Amino acid sequence: MIVLGIETSCDDTAVAVLDSEASVLANVVSSQDIIHQRFGGIVPELASRRHMESITPIVNDAISRAGITLNDIELIAVTRGPGLIGSLLVGFCYAKSLSYTLGIPYVGVDHMAGHLLSAFLEHSTPAFPYIALIVSGGTTSLFKVEDFNRFDLLGRTRDDAAGEAFDKIARYLELGYPGGPVVSKRAEGGDTTALQLPRAWLEEGSLDFSFSGLKTSVINHCHRIMQVDHLTEQQIMNTCASFQQAVIDVLIEKTSTAAQINDIRTVVLGGGVSANRSLREQISLRCGNEELDLFLPSVENCTDNGAMIAFAGVQQYWAGDRGANDDDVYSRSHLGR
């Protein structure tokens, strides 16, 4: 089965083609970073307009790279939510229209399901069940994944997601956009212990996340310094390093706890922030010490892409799921609840 995957939940227009063996024939991503850079964050209206301009050329590009034609496609998988409604509508309406035109089925995929199954795009794949930590700009969540279509939500962000906190710190320090990579880059030259920052563990036994207090502590610290002087480059690097380490400490500790209380020995990392080198290094070390099998998707498969949507979609299709004409997009995920 040839599957076309379409992902437009945020600011990347991503399209992929998978074959019947889940091999990726093409995986094309059109980034909008240069458009949103001067605003220090994503402007939803601009994002949706850019998707409208990009979707047809990107689909054509993916089909060309895969060496197929439109008539070879047997299933369309498209992100239905969560995300920016305007952006989602572009990809979703395009997929439904193409499905009708070609006379083939489509399935609406939860963006989170794509990340939860992204490890299956690699050569080495995890065994069920496993604990999945999904870290991105829109969410920070822990799931127990039972099989391709069974996801149990164990913990989620209560306020700022980890990636959102990175973006806000970068914007406050005027470091540029996107925030994750620029904060991580500055952190390389900093001291992780320079600032005594809080770690929000929440109530005992909770696997939820909260990063708003940490973000506020960093901003207040910088504000006090800037009341009398400018931040030096070293102070900025120390701030980034200390902030990043505080986030990583919580992510790793909660993931380890989730594995322990569920008696599961396999961990999967996903989402855009999981491309962070320090996080990958430290969670690898922790899992090694605790004899947990860790699966780290490649950076290409961690960030938003059409391949993960295509893979998740075909699993739903084999389980009997079919998209309906009156299906619509949604801004918040209800996966695993």
Residues 112, 39, single domain; the answer is yes
* Cα distance between residue 13 and residue 100, in whole Å: 21
| Among candidate residues 285, 294, 186, 283, the one with its CA nearest the CA of residue 244 | 186
Structural domain count of the chain = 2
* Cα distance between residue 236 and residue 295, in whole Å: 32
**Domain contains 122:** no
Tell whether the torsion through CA atoms of 14, 20, 21 and 26 is positive or negative: negative
**Domain contains 18:** yes
Residues 133, 278, single domain; the answer is yes
**Domain contains 270:** yes
**Domain contains 212:** yes
Amino acid 204: pLDDT = 85
**Domain contains 331:** no
Report yes or no: 287 and 253 within 8 Å, Cβ to Cβ. no
Residue 234, amino acid? Q
Torsion of CA 163, 166, 170, 175, to 10 degrees: -80
Amino acid 303: pLDDT = 93
Amino acid 205: pLDDT = 86
Kindly indicate the confidence band of residue 10, based on its pLDDT and cuts at 50, 70 and 90: very high
**Domain contains 179:** yes
* Cα distance between residue 63 and residue 162, in whole Å: 35
**What is the tally of helices (H) and strands (E) in the chain?**
11, 10
Report yes or no: 161 and 139 within 8 Å, Cβ to Cβ. yes
* Cα distance between residue 159 and residue 108, in whole Å: 27
List the domain range (segments joined by +) for residue 68: 3-117+301-318
Residues 164, 291, single domain; the answer is yes
Amino acid 146: pLDDT = 98
Q: What's the average model confidence in pLDDT over 184-195?
A: 97
> What percent of the chain lies above the pLDDT cut of 90?
92
Amino acid 160: pLDDT = 92
Q: What is the pLDDT of residues 47-101, one digit of tens each?
A: 999 999 999 999 999 999 999 999 999 999 999 999 999 999 999 999 999 999 9
Name the more confident of 177 and 327: 327
**Domain contains 12:** yes
Strands (E), the chain: 3-7, 13-18, 24-30, 75-81, 106-110, 130-135, 140-147, 150-156, 266-270, 293-295
Residues 175, 70, single domain; the answer is no
